[in-house]
Each structure stands twice: as structure tokens, then as C-alpha cells.
Structure 1
């Protein structure tokens, strides 16, 4: 017969090791039979069985802190050249790109959004067909 133990109370922010996920998490709160942990440095919380948790070792705490610092230092990737929210840029020195850019600018000056969109579509198509390596 399994004997129920009294659950250990932790202070918010205590670093605990969750063997079911093999991660160190910051204790947040108790929700029903589970505790809520979140990754060191922030992120999506997860539920953990309090009976399985143990205090994180110095090495585990340090590793989790380094991982969080590395995650924060990651530079965002460069913008996608095919991002449809941005108008395409003409390729310098290309007469067709320059002409399509002039059409787009004229449509924009005339507040003709349909013609501006058409010029963007044609410029994207031209760039894909003529300027891709």
C-alpha cells in the first residue's frame, strides 16, 4: 500500500529539477495535485508531479542559467526577402526593376492601392524569375 507523504512547500522562484522532462524549472505555484514550473529566464510553464521533484543541483542551476542567457543573446534572423508584408526592393541597376518601382511609386502617389499591389506582385515575380541564383 502506497503511503502519502506530506507535500513539500516551496517558495516561488525556487529552482527544482523535474526528471520527467529532464529540465530545471522555477517553482511558480501549486495547481491541484501538480505544481507549475517555468523555464529559467521565462517561457511556457508546465505541470509537474511534486513527488518527483527535487532541488536542482548547483551544476543544474548554472546550466539552466547559461541556457537562458544564450537564448536571450540570440539575434533574430534577418527578415525574409519574400515577406509579403514588405514591398519588394528593386535590384540596383536592373531596368525592369526600376520601371516597376516607378509604376509602384506613381500608383502610391495617386493613392491607387490596387495598382500599387499589382506593381509589387510584378516586381516580386520578376525578382524570382530574373534575379534568383
Structure 2
């Protein structure tokens, strides 16, 4: 293990061989150095005599792990558009489907979004019940 007697600056990334982790140096508390995980988290105590500056590879690895932790805690993206977000299509040859599609078009022409939505809901229900679609 590499020992160092140089004082560490707050914010400097150091490698702790006891935990095999890279941490951001915070301060000293008694005989211990306080390190915080890259990207935040719970601090831990380390023996200052065994700490060494983190290598480029260790710093990069710690940064990637921090980003992955952060990304995992973010809300996921909305689901892709599916059939529910698109207007339903009438089944060819069905008079009820044609009537509901015509009602929807009339509502669109009149800029009545509520009636348009109602027609879409009724058309979906009809397709599920009568056409199993």
C-alpha cells in the first residue's frame, strides 16, 4: 500500500485500498479521513496513511458508477406511443364503426375535441366488444 503524508485538499479524489473505493476527500475527523462517494452519498472513515490519489482510470470508473446510480433513480421515459394514443380505425363494412368514425370527423370539423375524444372512446369500446380488436 502506498502511504502519503501530504495533506489532502477537500474535493480531491482519493483511492481507499481498505474499501477498494474512490472517494472525495471531505475533511479529517480525529485520526480518520472522511471520504464521500463520487456523486454523493454516505461518507466513510478511512486511514489517511493508506490513501493515495486516484488514477485516471479509477476516477473515470467512479464517475461512471455515479452516473449509473443517478440514472437508475430517475423516472423512466414515457412508454412509446401505442394504439391507445392513436385514433381507432373503423372496421371495414361495419355500420356502427362507420357511424362512430363519422361522428368523430364531424367533431373534428367543428373543433370539438371533447366530442372527438368521446367518439374515439366509443369506437374503441365497440371494436373490443363486437370485433375483439
- TM-score between the two structures when normalised by the length of structure 1: 0.51
Which one has a bigger Cα radius of gyration? Answer: 2
2:4 and 2:50 in contact (8 A); partners too:
no
The Cα of 1:76 is off from its aligned counterpart by 6.0
Q: 1:49 aligns with which of 47, 50, 56?
A: 47
RMSD of Structure 2 on Structure 1 (CA): 2.1
2:14 and 2:53 in contact (8 A); partners too:
yes
**3-state SS in 2 of match to 1:37:** strand
1:70-118: CA deviation from partner (whole Å, max 9, x where unpaired): 000004689xxxxxxxxxxxxxxxxxxxxxxxxxxxxxxxxxxxxxxxx
Structure with greater contact order relative to length (CA < 8 Å, sep ≥ 6): 2
Which residue of the partner structure matches residue 87 of structure 2? none
2:14 and 2:51 in contact (8 A); partners too:
yes
Number of residue pairs matched? 74
Which residue of the partner structure matches residue 65 of structure 2? 67
Moved over 6 A (4+): none
Consecutive unaligned residues of structure 2, counting only runs of 5 or more, are: 77-133
- TM-score between the two structures when normalised by the length of structure 2: 0.51
Change (3 A) 1:44 1:75: closer
Consecutive unaligned residues of structure 1, counting only runs of 5 or more, are: 79-133
Change (3 A) 1:32 1:59: same
**Separation in 2 of the partners of 1:51 and 1:19?**
11
**Separation in 1 of the partners of 2:65 and 2:29?**
27
